Amino acid sequence: MWIPFNKPFLTGRELEYIRQAHEAHHLSGDGAFTKRCQAWLEESIGCTRALLTHSCTAALEMAAILADVGPGDEIIMPSFTFVSTANAFVLRGGVPVFVDVREDTLNIDESRIEGAITARTKAIVAVHYAGVACEMATIRDLAARHGLLVIEDAAQAIGAAYRGKPLGSLGHLAALSFHETKNLISGEGGALLVNATELAARAEIVREKGTNRGAFFRGEVDKYTWVDVGSSFLPSDILAAFLWAQMEQAESLAQRRRALWDNYHRAFADLERPPHLRRPIVPRDATPNGHGYYLLLADLDQRQEFIAALRRDGVNAVFHYVPLHSSPAGRKFGRSSGPMSVTDSVAERLVRLPSWIGLEPQQDYVIERCRHALRR
Ligand SMILES: Cc1ncc(COP(=O)(O)O)c(C=O)c1O
């Protein structure tokens, strides 16, 4: 028996919708399925514009262009995040300025952001780790006071909320991922959400290789031409057709994710002994989306032993992230502001448990093996 860390779940209509895209003879971007997916995102998240991209990485790269990040401009972000959060800005010559994360949510520590702001600061990136919201009221206030953009890295956050508002609707811009590990999937995939209305027209141009092709197809201009910087960030309608089958079932998929998360959370309650063993903490203002369950163990040795024990029992538990401030590229292109002690500590102690739809019949086994390994 082998229980993987992730297994993509298909709702059943994915191939039928791809067939329909094929039959409609529209396989490039911005076909009927792309439009359906975008309308669904705009409606359910409440953003001004949703633009599908081929990854969250691509959406972050678009955000860096829209934020007008240039050489030497600084972007404040956590170090405890995926590479793309920083790399998207480095591609434009920007400098990631890393600040530590909070002990409870592992999200950017909002109390450390102001100390990292300089005359070169352009934006703050709020990464909602594991679909649990950052402290957005404080972050938005700070940004407004200092004239900065807020960009939500909501790669893991679709369906989650902060004070009742969907994540992705709270920054000037937000980036979603539909990578096969996420709550809604298309293999690879993503979306840029635009809440700052004044950026919407340019976002469309940036996604279309820097051209005003969108306006041309709507009959607003009589020819299309190169008007700005951009790239090919627009995914094929084949990908959108797959994604639509997931969006149609978003509610039931979310319920199943949350149920898996709740089962884990209940199952480890009696073993919790912070700081030796700690479960995720969800603040009152955050409504999570059941994306991924993790535990924090005592130290690196205990975590590695735990992962090895589970592996012997056929269960694949994994860790992340290598903190960006101590990675080779992070040291070369970015800098830290203040201590990174929480980041350094959690990166050594965090372990992620298998969390995917379809795991249900085997989850009790995973839990039982985890409890066994934790008691050793
Ligand atoms: C926080 C965060 N940002 C960005 C990404 C990149 O997403 P994608 O693989 O869709 O480019 C990920 C991927 O897991 C992520 O977790």
The pLDDT tens digits for 327-358 are 999 999 999 999 999 999 999 999 999 999 99
* 266, HSE (Cβ side, Cα atoms, 13 Å): 8
Q: Which residues pair with 77 in a beta bridge?
A: 98
Q: Does position 41 have pLDDT exceeding 80, yes or no?
A: yes
| CA 23 to ligand 1 center in whole angstroms | 32
Q: Strands of the chain (E only): list them.
A: 49-53, 74-78, 95-99, 121-127, 149-153, 161-162, 165-166, 173-177, 190-194, 277-278, 286-287, 293-297, 335-336, 350-353
Q: Does position 265 have pLDDT exceeding 90, yes or no?
A: yes
The pLDDT tens digits for 75-90 are 999 999 999 999 999 9
| CA 58 to ligand 1 center in whole angstroms | 10
Q: Is the CB of 56 under 6 A from ligand 1?
A: yes
Q: Is the CB of 179 under 6 A from ligand 1?
A: yes
Return the sign of the alpha-carbon dihedral for residues 168, 173, 175, 176: positive
| CA 348 to ligand 1 center in whole angstroms | 20
User: What value, to the nearest 5°, has the Cα angle with vertex 253 and ends 247 and 255?
Assistant: 130
Pick the residue whose CA is nearest to atom 8 on ligand 1. 56
Q: Is the CB of 57 under 6 A from ligand 1?
A: yes
Residue 275: pLDDT band (50, 70, 90) is confident
Query: Which ligand 1 atom minimizes the distance to the CA of 188?
Result: 10
The pLDDT assigned to 228 comes to 97
| CA 268 to ligand 1 center in whole angstroms | 28
Give this prediction's pTM.
0.98
| CA 119 to ligand 1 center in whole angstroms | 29
Q: Is the CB of 55 under 6 A from ligand 1?
A: yes
d(CA 32, CA 35): 5
